[in-house]
Amino acid sequence: MRLASGQEVLVARVLTDEGNAGFGFSLRLDATEARHMAEWAAGARAERPSIEPALGHAWETAYLSGSRIPWDSEPEFVRLRWLSA
């Protein structure tokens, strides 16, 4: 996905068998990093993944501080349409 700044980000969604959805991202375009973050957000991974700061983006800042990620701060994320299970 392209951020409003023009930078690219890889976004992942995990949907558990229980129906929990979790989102993750990687500003380094690392699919494993994004998937692990999404698994943790969905409750499918016990340990919170660590990430290295890359851009100082709002998502990154929120994640690193343990705050709620403001997904809706990026217009393209809001426009994503996910396939249902």
Read off the pLDDT of residues 44-79 as tens digits, 9 standing for 90 and up: 999 999 998 889 999 999 999 999 999 999 999 999
How many structural domains does the chain have?
A: 1
Closest C-alpha to 45, from 33, 54, 29, 62: 33
What domain range includes position 36? Answer: 10-79
pTM: 0.91
| Overall average pLDDT of the 10-16 stretch | 96
pLDDT value at position 83? 76
Residue 64 lies in a domain: yes
Return the bridge partners of 15, or none: 21
| pLDDT reading at 84 higher than 90 | no
pLDDT value at position 70? 97
Structure tokens at 5: 């700044």
Residue 1 lies in a domain: no
Residue 72 lies in a domain: yes
Residue 48 lies in a domain: yes
